[in-house]
Structures are given as C-alpha cells and as structure tokens.
C-alpha cells in the first residue's frame, strides 16, 4: 500500500492545502497531495519549455534509449506499481497487472521503436508542373510542451500512458492526474528519473480542476481523457488560446449478439468486458442487444457467471474478481441508474445494490426488461452493471445500438464472419470488434478514438503520436532560372500559353 512516505518529496510541495488520497476499498487515507496554484503551474511549464529543446535535439535514438530503460524499470518494479495502483483505485491485482503494467511496458517499447518511422520526413511527389524538379517534404516537429489531463480509472494506462508518445516525439510533458488517483503518476515520475530522463522534461502537476485549467492556459497541446461533460469544458478553455486538443470522452458501448453467435463465448465476454476493472472502462460493454432466438440462453449464462463473481478488497493474485468503485460520486450514478431502471419496469437478476461493509463497492448487476427510456441504456454508467435487451433481429439491434450520442466502441457476435463484419461496418463507433471486445486496445498499431460526443482525435497508431507534433511542409528549389514564366511582368503570349497548358493537362476530364 502506498503511504505518504512513498510519495516523492516533490509532490509534497505547493502553497495550497493538500488533497487526501483514499483507498476506495477501505476508506483509509493513504496520502496527501498538494493542489498546485496557477503560479506554480506556470512555473512548471516554464521549466518544461526550457528543457524541451535539448530533449528534442538528442534525437529519436537517444530518446528511445530512455524509453527502453523505462520499460525495464516498469517490469523490474511491477509489484510496487501494482500495489500503488491497487491502493488508490481499489481495483483487483489482475486489473492492475493486465490492463496497466502490461500496457505501459508494451507502450514504452512500441513508441521507442515506431516514433522514428512515424515521424520521419516524408518526400512528396506532385503532378503539378510548376513544382517539377523541386524537393517537397512533409516533416513533423514536436509542439513543445504537452499537457495531459488524466482520468482516475486507469492512472497508468489512460493517464501516464498518453505521455509516452508525447515524450517519444520530443516534447516536454506535464501530467495533471486525477486528484483521486495521483500516486501512480508520481511513482512514474520517479521511474523516468531513474531511467535517465533529463530534469523537467516530465513533471506532475497535482491538484483539482483549477490546476487543470491553469495547465490548459499554458501548454501547446492538451490531451484529456474523461467525461464528455468535462471534455467540453476543456475544449472551451483551450479555445481561448487556440490550443489544440485531443479528447477521449464518454462511451455507452453496445454489444450485439446475433442468433448464430457462439453463446458461451459471447456470455463469457459479456461477463468479463462489462465487469473488468469494476466496469470502469471507457470501452466497457455497457448495454447488450440479443436476438430473440438466443436471448433466454444468453441471459441465463451471463447471470450465472456474473452471480459467481467474487468482489472485495484485493489481497493479491486471484483473491477477487471485481474491485471497488474508485470515484465516490460514481457510486451514486451507478445506483441511480439501477434504481431508475427498476422504477420503469426492469428486473434485477443478480446484484442491484451497494454492497454492505467498508469501502465503495457496487454488486455486479444484471438487468433485463430494459429499454431506451432508462438511463442504464442511454447514459454512461461506468460501473459493474449489464443491462440486456431482447431484439427481434439484427436491424433492430443496429438501430438501437446507433441510438446514442456516444460512439466510442462496440462489438458484434456471430459465427458468420461475413455477416458480422458487414453489420460492424454499419455501427456508428470509432472501433467495432467482431467476436471480441476491448483487446483492440492492446494493438498499439490500431488507432483508437470516438465518434459523435465520444471524442476528437485518436490515441495509438500514427495519429496517436503525430497529434503531438506540428506538421511542416518544406519546398526546396534546387535548379531554377532568374525568373519563372508566371512571374511579373505579365505578358499576353505567356498567359495564353499557360492557358493552353491548363487545357492540355486538365481539359480531358470525362464529360457527362
């Protein structure tokens, strides 16, 4: 368990009162972190800006060496990192190991290897005769100082994880973690220092919303992960300084189970991908539409599996299946969604209430007889609940799946892969899996981002690092006379020749 003594000394500085950090599985205060003021955030950014040019100048190879040392540091210190994550989030040991440690270790290596390729100068060829013989290049240069505002559900993967490609691109980074789960970020700052990262290239700004707002005002790019409501506020604040943003926001991810699906696999996936990390996953399965012929079978199997899940405080590998609710207000949202559904006619087949005893736990819950009048089917719940709705056919399932302001992720389940993929292509979401869910996030080559109100831009893939750069076009004229034909003074004969050239090059288009 993390304690105040384990928090780096730098985290204890700050002029404002501290924020207590609690273990949501026990209610125990495990640390106190400072709230940095606007002036303190500005000073952090100043130091980051001063440190950035040298970090950029050492190049991809040297930056890659630091990232690979950090990769080893994560694996060497995995137990300590897991203990810190579990203590401040209340999640299980496995959720911290599989979804956080393995991700971070992979990400350090991936971006160290791929950054030179994805950000290399790109030669461009043009069909325009005016630039024949000239050198055309697109290059990517770091924006300068990146501000990352992270969520509380995955303090390593979805908070610190966004810093890795930004660093690989040659930026300095300031991470503002959630005040609910800041300890992992502070620990990773220690790890980067131990891995040889130069001073002030990575810093942590602890604090509340005001700290985050101050950071937005000072940096050159903002990456935010969190709710759609807060994402709109981030974008509005950034607009005042025309600071570009990347946003990964809310989701209400649908699962469509067709009548020819492997029901056992689909049921196992529904139980796991709705309940892992306590359901506090942006790409968690939050609602299920099942074709009538397999509905009863699917519901029975899911209910049995969810009903057997062990919930409680994690004491190590294999001790529990579902952990705590990390953020106190989220517990109220989960409970209100279930109560709303029951009041409108839904039935609870298992779970359905706040668990007794210490800590913040909501029982793994399966709901049926649900519809789109209920908040559990239309609003992001972000908890261990699974509402399941019977549909007549694939068309009804698709219509309901797309009946949402969100479009982050979805899944389609069918043994007919051609049919499954065809339906997946009609789902309005940034990512759709067929006969799987969530594992796309582990393929760092794949872009991951939302449609509709689920965000702007992507993480992972080429876009996941290029967003932290400024694109620059270079045109170099190597061989040329004193004057080009189109330059002043205009001459009638030259103008007529250019007109003929235009008709020759572009006047042969197909006519209707």
Enzyme catalytic residues:
248, 282
Rounded Cα distance, 31 and 21, in Å: 5
Pairing mode, strands 469-477 and 134-142 = antiparallel
Rounded Cα distance, 102 and 190, in Å: 19
**What does the chain come to in residues?**
512
Is there a contact between 386 and 369 (Cβ–Cβ < 8 Å)? no
Rounded Cα distance, 48 and 238, in Å: 19
* DSSP secondary structure of 271-284: HHHHHGGGG--TT-
Rounded Cα distance, 369 and 371, in Å: 7
Comparing CA positions, the residue from 322, 292, 320 lying closest to residue 386 is 322
Task: Count CB atoms within 10 A of the CB of residue 472.
Answer: 11
Q: What is the largest CA-CA distance in the chain?
A: 91
Whole-Å CA distances, 171 to 39, 115, 163, 389: 22, 12, 9, 47
Of the CA atoms within 13 Å of residue 251, those in its CB half-sphere come to 33
How much of the chain is helix, strand and coil, in % rounded to 5?
Answer: 45, 20, 35
- The helix/strand/coil state of 17 is coil
């Amino acid at each position: 368990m993390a304690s105040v003594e384990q928090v780096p000394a730098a985290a204890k500085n700050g002029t404002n009162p501290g924020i207590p950090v609690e273990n949501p599985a026990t209610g125990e205060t495990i640390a106190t972190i400072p709230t940095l003021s606007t002036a303190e955030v500005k000073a952090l950014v100043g130091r980051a800006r001063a440190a950035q040019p040298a970090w950029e100048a050492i190049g991809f190879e040297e930056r890659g060496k630091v990232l690979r040392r950090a990769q080893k540091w994560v694996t060497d210190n995995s137990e300590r990192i897991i203990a810190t994550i579990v203590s401040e989030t209340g999640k299980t040991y496995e959720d911290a190991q599989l979804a956080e440690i393995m991700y971070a270790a992979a990400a350090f290596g991936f971006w160290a290897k791929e950054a030179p390729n994805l950000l290399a100068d790109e030669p461009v060829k043009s069909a325009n005769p005016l630039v024949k013989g000239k050198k055309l290049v697109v290059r990517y240069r770091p924006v300068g100082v990146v501000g990352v505002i992270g969520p509380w559900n995955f303090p390593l993967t979805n908070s610190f994880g966004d810093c890795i490609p930004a660093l690989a691109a040659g930026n300095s980074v300031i991470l503002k973690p959630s005040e609910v789960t800041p300890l992992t970020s502070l620990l990773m700052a220690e790890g980067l220092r131990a891995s040889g990262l130069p001073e002030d290239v990575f810093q942590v700004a602890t604090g509340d919303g005001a700290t985050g707002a101050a950071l937005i005002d000072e940096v050159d790019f903002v990456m935010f992960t969190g709710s759609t409501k807060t994402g709109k506020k981030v974008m509005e604040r950034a607009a005042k300084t025309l600071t570009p943003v990347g946003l990964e926001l809310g989701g209400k991810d649908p699962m469509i189970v067709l009548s020819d699906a492997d029901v056992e696999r689909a049921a196992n996936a529904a139980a796991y991908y709705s309940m892992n990390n306590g359901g506090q996953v942006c790409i968690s399965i939050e609602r299920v539409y099942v074709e009538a012929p397999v509905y009863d079978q699917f519901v029975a199997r899911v209910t049995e599996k969810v009903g057997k899940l062990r919930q409680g405080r994690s004491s190590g590998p294999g001790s529990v299946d579902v952990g705590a609710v990390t953020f106190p207000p989220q517990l109220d949202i989960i409970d209100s969604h279930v109560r709303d559904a029951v009041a409108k006619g839904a039935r609870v087949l298992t779970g359905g209430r706040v668990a007794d005893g210490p800590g913040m736990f909501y029982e793994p819950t399966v709901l049926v007889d649900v519809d789109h009048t209920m908040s559990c089917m239309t609003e992001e719940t972000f908890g261990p609940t699974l509402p399941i709705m019977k549909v007549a056919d694939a068309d009804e399932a698709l219509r309901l799946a797309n009946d949402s302001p969100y479009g982050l992720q979805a899944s389609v389940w069918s043994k007919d892969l051609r049919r499954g993929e065809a339906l997946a292509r009609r789902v309005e979401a940034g990512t759709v899996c067929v006969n799987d869910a969530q594992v796309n996030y582990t393929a760092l080559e794949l872009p991951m981002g939302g449609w509709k109100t689920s965000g702007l831009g992507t993480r992972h893939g080429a876009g996941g690092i290029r967003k932290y750069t400024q694109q620059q076009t270079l045109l170099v004229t190597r061989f040329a006379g004193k004057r080009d034909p189109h330059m002043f003074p205009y001459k009638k004969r030259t103008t007529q020749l250019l007109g003929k050239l235009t008709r020759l090059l572009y006047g042969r288009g197909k006519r209707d």
